[in-house]
Every structure is written in structure tokens, then in C-alpha cells.
Amino acid sequence: MARKTVERNISYDDIRRRWYVSMDLGRDDQGKRRKRYRTYTSLPAARAGLREFLSHREQEISLCRCPITLGQWLDQWMQTIVRPNRAETTAYAYQKIIDNHLRPALGDRPLLRLTPGDIQQYYLRVQQDAGLSSNTLRHHHNLLSSAFRAAVKQNILLRSPMDRVEPPRARLHETNFYSPDTLKRLYSLLAGRPLELPARLAGSLGLRRGELCGLKWENVDFQRQVICICEARTTFGAEVVQKEPKNNASVRTLYIPDEILQLLSSEWNRQQYSPQPLDGYVIRNRKGQPYSPNALSLAFTRFVRKNHLPCLTLHGLRHSFATVAACQGVPLFDIGKALGHANPSTTGRIYTHLVDRTHTETLTRVSNALR
């Protein structure tokens, strides 16, 4: 037997073992009756779904007359919500995702008819066709979640389909880092070169590359021997912009060790006699110009390769700082504070090798005690 009616607007399919609720949305402009169907796994759930529909029936009917597509809503969302309230770099990244992927795949679909299955199929299709990683797809998921939440707040949707979408699984990248001995060798090879100061700030203080490039002399306090991380330099497209750090926790004050204080003093004195106009930036290339983040990363990678050092990115020096600190017995919480992480769980998630090391020590101590 197939589907049979058990209550008004509720039927049961004994083959699929699903309860179906038919929701009457009235007639369209041509007089054709419109209905929407939803499935549930139990009769109580079907009754609850029908009651919810009936309580919002007028709003459902008015919403179904709204012809807005996903592409149109994303344009409106970007213009009225994202650009006025988010960083330029965030808006740029969102626009790239919309233009390159979302608009070609789903842009013409009516916003009200997008289902969790449509979004799930989009993830699968774009991962196969464009070769995007699951970590990259998480950015697509976050964008869509934010856009649909805004649509619910503005009464364009009653509920977000993203609430029932399984997000792409995030995969942790292997964290490369240098041991203390390799880090010392790097510092020795960099002595007297323009890359020495940024490399030491990254490896000994844990600065991000944007924080290195955005560092200004006004934030270096020689007398108190501290440095304030309150700006970052980043790129979006062909532009380089100065902005606030990644999050509130990234605004931090760090102690300057003596050897780095000496490097900063030498660089300050050198810049006073530089023919280049002073614009306040600390980190500069051989021509005396401020580094862009990409150029600084590329220069460091080339130096590592040229000197036959173990493969490492500039960001890997930040990981090396965390590793050396952990080897000295510094708790993960304190390491995260120095790195500017917003949440201690972030430190543990990124630096899983530090957690594994701690587990090894703990289990070894317990084993030794029980011998």
C-alpha cells in the first residue's frame, strides 16, 4: 500500500515509513492552487510541523509571492550588511566566493525554494568540479549561514535551510615548525640581512605576517621594552591596506627580549639616515620600502630554499615559537595569549602536536609511578 491519509493534511507512506504534511499556500496569480509538502519521521513531529505552519500561514503565503533569487539576496546582503560592517578583506573574500562559485551554481534559484539538499549537492559539485578543499568549503558554508540568518531576521525567510545542512568537515593541516637548534641556525644565517628582524619577531614573539608588516615605530616602546600589536597590514586583490588585527585578543602588548630590542634600535637608527621618506613602518625590504605580506612570505621562502634549510613558511616561525615555548613548560593557555588567540581551544586545535607531547609526558609519569 502506498500513501494514505490518516488526519487532515497528514498522510502516511507505509513503504517509506514517512509522515507527509501538505500545506495549502492558496492560489497563485493564474489561479492555480499551491501546496508545499514536508516529511517527518513520526506522527507527533508531523502534527507539530503542521501546527507551526498554520500559526505562520499568512506569513508563508506572503513570502511565497516574493520572487527574490539567491543571487539577488546575496547582492543585497553584501551591499547593506557586509560592506558597512565587515573589514574590506572579508567583503572582498565573500565577493570572490559569490562571483566565482555561488552565483554560477545557485544564483538563479528562488531563495524560498532552496533546500538543505540543494546546498549539500552544491558542496559536492563545487568540490569535484573546482577541486576545492573541505577547509575552503567551510568558508562557503559560513557565508551562506550568515546570509540566510540575515534573511530570517529581515522576515524574508521563516527559517534557514542551513540549520539542517551538514557543514564540510574541516581538516587540520600538518603544522611545520623548527626545533630550537634549527631556529638558531636560521637566525645565524639571517644575521645582518633585512629578513633578520621580521624572522626573529615571528620566531621569538609569535607575530603573524600581517602584524609584522603593519608594525609601526609608534607602537614600539624602547623605554618600557614592550611592543604593542594593534595594527596589521594585509592584501585583498592588488591592494595593500592597514587594518585592525584579526580579533580583539590579537591586540596585545609583548615584552621585547634584549637581543630583539638591540635589532630594533639598530633598525631605528638606520632608518633615520635612509633616503626613503619615513612613513612609520618598522619592517622594510632592501630598497627601504615597507613589505607587503605576500612579498615578505615569498622572500622568506626563497631564503630557506636557497640555504637548504628544512622547508618552512614564514607562518611556520609562529608555530616554532609555540613549540619552543611548550618545550620550556609554558602552558597552552599562556602560549595562546602571547599568540593573540581569541580562545584557548584555538591553540589546542592548531598545535595538536603540543597536546600529544603533554599526553606522552603524563602517561609516562603515571607508568613510572606504577612500576
pLDDT for res 350:
67
pLDDT for res 156:
81
Residues of the chain with pLDDT under 50: none
Radius of gyration in angstroms for the set of CA atoms belonging to the chain, rounded to a whole number: 28
pLDDT, tens only, 197-212: 999 999 999 999 999 9
pLDDT for res 174:
63
pLDDT, tens only, 273-323: 877 666 789 999 888 888 889 999 999 999 999 999 999 999 999 989 988
In the chain, which segments carry CATH 1.10.150.130? 70-164
CB within 8 Å of 25: residues ≥ 6 apart:
34, 35, 36, 60, 61, 64
Per CATH, the homologous superfamily of domain 70-164 is Tyrosine recombinase, N-terminal domain (1.10.150.130)
CB within 8 Å of 5: residues ≥ 6 apart:
11
pLDDT for res 102:
95
User: What CATH number belongs to 180-361?
Assistant: 1.10.443.10
In the chain, which segments carry CATH 1.10.443.10? 180-361
| Cα angle, residue 115 at apex, residues 133 and 66 outer, rounded to 5° | 125
Which one-letter amino acid corresponds to residue 112? L
pLDDT for res 139:
93
Which whole-number Å values give the CA distances from 46 to 112, 207, 239, in the listed order? 21, 54, 53
pLDDT for res 197:
96
pLDDT, tens only, 322-332: 888 887 888 88
| pTM for this predicted structure | 0.67
DSSP states of 138-186 as a string? HHHHHHHHHHHHHHHHTTS-SS-GGGGPPPPPP-PPP-----HHHHHHH
